[in-house]
């Protein structure tokens, strides 16, 4: 899996040149707008709710001694929890709403990498704008539910000293996996149905994690990160997903 993760990360080094060569920047205008608006709304909500969540958690402590310390810790942990959940929501919202715009980009990249025409690629699974949007929403609602299911226990564990180091690493890897999952599906939707795509990503977890790791690191870059994250991550994911599909076809033949 480590080899797959590193390979997926390395694919990012090809993203800029490939986007420029195929003149794909114009296709990213609406997804970038979706990303900026979604991030702005979530930052606003996060800023407003972090203190409220901390105060609510602090009510668990019924005693006067240590009340101030517990309140401070609760406010901090409440803020961290809201930020993490906000990142999760941001990620799935932009990937779901961007699906109809990212699928054509992925399609053009696949045509270039495989050396076949767009007509030949359409012979796999030709889907409409609305079908791509509905699939993107379905995939991301499913992933959002599963990610929250695993995230909430890890957030509880993050309160415990020493254990919180491991839980933080697991939280980051979890977010990375589902980010990479969403980016890979822009290519998978042309080749596999819903269940087949879930199975495919399950067998290529390393590719999803590697792609998602850089996706998450992009978000640490103020402003520029939310602008560039989709163009670079989708391009890198398409490169490795097309390669993995090709290898699967060879193995099956």
Residue 212 lies in a domain: yes
- Give the list of residues 6+ apart from residue 184 with CB closer than 8 angstroms, or none: 201, 204, 207, 208, 211, 237, 240, 241
Mean pLDDT by 10 residues, the chain (253 residues): 94 96 93 93 77 64 63 69 86 93 91 72 65 91 94 83 87 95 94 93 96 95 92 96 84 57
Residue 45, pLDDT score: 80
Region label for 115, one of left (φ > 0), alpha (ψ between -120 and 50) or beta (otherwise): left
Residue 199 lies in a domain: yes
Overall number of domains in the chain: 1
- Asked if residues 183 and 235 have their Cβ atoms less than 8 Å apart, the reply is no
Residue 71 lies in a domain: no
Residue 194 lies in a domain: yes
Residue 33 lies in a domain: yes
- Asked if residues 14 and 239 have their Cβ atoms less than 8 Å apart, the reply is yes
Residue 187 lies in a domain: yes
Residue 170, pLDDT score: 94
Residue 49 lies in a domain: no
| Alpha carbon separation from 240 to 108, 128, 159, 162, 184 (Å, rounded) | 14, 24, 37, 36, 8
Residue 185 lies in a domain: yes
DSSP track, 147-198: HHHHHHHHHHHTTSTTHHHHHHHHHHHHHHHHHHHHHHHHHHTTT--HHHHH
* 114 three-state secondary structure: helix
The whole-model pTM stands at 0.86
Q: What domain range includes position 193?
A: 2-40+100-252
Residue 86: Cβ within 10 Å count = 21
């Amino acid at each position: 899996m480590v080899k797959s993760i590193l390979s997926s990360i390395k694919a990012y080094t090809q993203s800029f040149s490939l986007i420029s060569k195929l003149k794909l920047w114009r296709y990213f205008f609406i997804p970038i707008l979706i990303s900026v608006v979604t991030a702005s709304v979530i930052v606003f909500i996060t800023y407003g709710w972090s203190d409220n969540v901390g105060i609510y958690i602090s009510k668990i402590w019924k005693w006067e001694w240590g009340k101030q310390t517990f309140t401070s810790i609760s406010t901090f942990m409440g803020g961290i929890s809201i930020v993490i959940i906000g990142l999760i929501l941001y990620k799935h919202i932009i990937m779901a709403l961007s699906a109809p715009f990212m699928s054509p980009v992925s399609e053009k990249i696949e045509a270039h990498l495989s050396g076949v025409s767009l007509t030949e690629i359409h012979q796999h699974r030709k889907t409409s704008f609305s079908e791509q949007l509905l699939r993107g929403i379905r995939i991301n609602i499913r992933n959002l539910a599963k990610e929250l299911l695993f995230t909430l226990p890890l957030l509880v564990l993050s309160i415990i000293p020493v254990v919180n180091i491991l839980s933080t690493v697991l939280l980051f890897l979890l977010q990375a996996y589902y980010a990479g999952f969403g980016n890979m599906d822009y290519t998978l939707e042309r080749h596999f149905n819903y269940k087949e795509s879930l199975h495919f990503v399950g067998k290529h977890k390393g590719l999803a994690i590697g792609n998602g790791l850089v996706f998450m690191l992009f978000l640490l870059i103020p402003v520029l990160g939310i602008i560039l994250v989709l163009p670079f991550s989708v391009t890198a994911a398409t490169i490795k997903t097309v390669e993995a599909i090709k290898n699967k076809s060879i193995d099956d033949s």
